[in-house]
Structure 1
């Protein structure tokens, strides 16, 4: 419990660098190293191996997707950062589909047009990050496949090496699964926000966000071939396979009455 409380304090001090990535520094380094200790206590996969360059970059690029899109509420950022660094399990993180819309309308804008513009910019920014992330994730998967294929032929490996190799593969794949799941949930939040804005402040400006969300949904499919559909369930990111099927099919998370 003391370790978790310490993690909360550290995460509160986490700083953001360029392009939404974690800023290099003592505070963020402590946050990054605390998470694996807590995750290991929860019996989650944690490897003692050092990260490859691609694995490190994969984690840096995942930061933008796994942190909140709108609002800079301190508590929300702390929870998001704790889940991202694995100091807390993912299910501690709020999954309210209406959260983005609520944050959007709570901000001060000169006109409703600015809200539409913000929604369009956020969806477009997410879409532009997917292609390079998918290419990087593919390289990481290929390296992991090589790692696993080499195990039976390596005669000098001990159980420690085999275990940590398996744990690193699981870590990498579960991170990719988490990003894929989070993007599906983010698309649902963007669609929810757009539907409500059209009712609250209708206008032709809704065309821009609609196209941006469609582009994001289209590019998200680049992540589908990287892992099987049930990956998020196997990684403990969702409680059951029904939700995975809904997200993969693009069905809304909130049904209308």
Structure 2
């Protein structure tokens, strides 16, 4: 069906308004938040209708493959890749299941204390090693994510101008963009939670087993904080909430997801 024939299908056409909205720029040149909100609002109902299907049938670009590879290595390197793909699919459709949600910040500290360490030095070293490993993974992911975001904006901009698109094309575009954005939001959310857990562990180690090694651990935390901030400009601040990764700001009714650009 030609693109103009989709005008009678309002749910699928939710993907089209943000093709124009994405061109709008917000603070510091970032995409305007309304473009992202519209995207998630469109992709949610669409993906809910295709239970059992992949999030999108489109082939991955090279950058999309790299993005998923780097996200998997960061989020769950010791777990089967298929579990990661299932979690990403669930995330884009309806949010991550409860078992995928991170525990409280104290969990990492308790795990360090539970290890059979011969001295407090080894606990500080474990903390510093984990922090440094996370920090080293972030820049490459952020660089790839930025390219994917730019490509998705071009994808959305093109929709109103292509006359041969049918329902599946529009749906596939909306789902793939939502999948990419929610994956980036997942990594950004996890990075913030890990930094919180590392800081909690350092503060409590300093009280439980004070030592000069805390100075080095504090430096590695500063290194991680600087690296983590590379993820901030990639998506609007409410992206994690829109993807079901975090509670929405405020206790009132959920904000309207689809807005006129």
Larger Rg: 2
Q: How many residues align?
A: 198
Where structure 1 has 5 or more consecutive residues not aligned to the other structure, the ranges are 1-36, 244-257
Distance 2:66 2:60 in 1: 9
Equivalences for residues 64-213 of structure 1 within 5 A: 64-67=73-76, 81=83, 84-86=87-89, 89-93=96-100, 94-213=102-221
**Greater relative contact order structure (CA < 8 Å, 6+ sep):** 2
Aligned residues: CA RMSD: 2.8
Point out 4+ residue stretches in structure 1 off by more than 3 angstroms. 37-43, 80-88
Q: Report matched runs for 1:209-248 at 5 Å.
A: 209-241=217-249
* Deviation digits for residues 20-50 of structure 1 (CA, Å, limit 9, x no counterpart): xxxxxxxxxxxxxxxxx9995399x921112
1:39–1:187 CA distance, 2 compared to 1 (3 A): farther
| Structure 2 residues without counterparts, runs of 5 or longer | 1-46, 252-261
The answer to whether the 8 A contact 2:67-2:144 is kept is yes
Maintained 8 Å contact 1:65/1:182: no
Q: What TM-score, normalized by structure 2, do the two folds share? A: 0.69
Q: What is the TM-score when the length of structure 1 is the normalising length?
A: 0.70
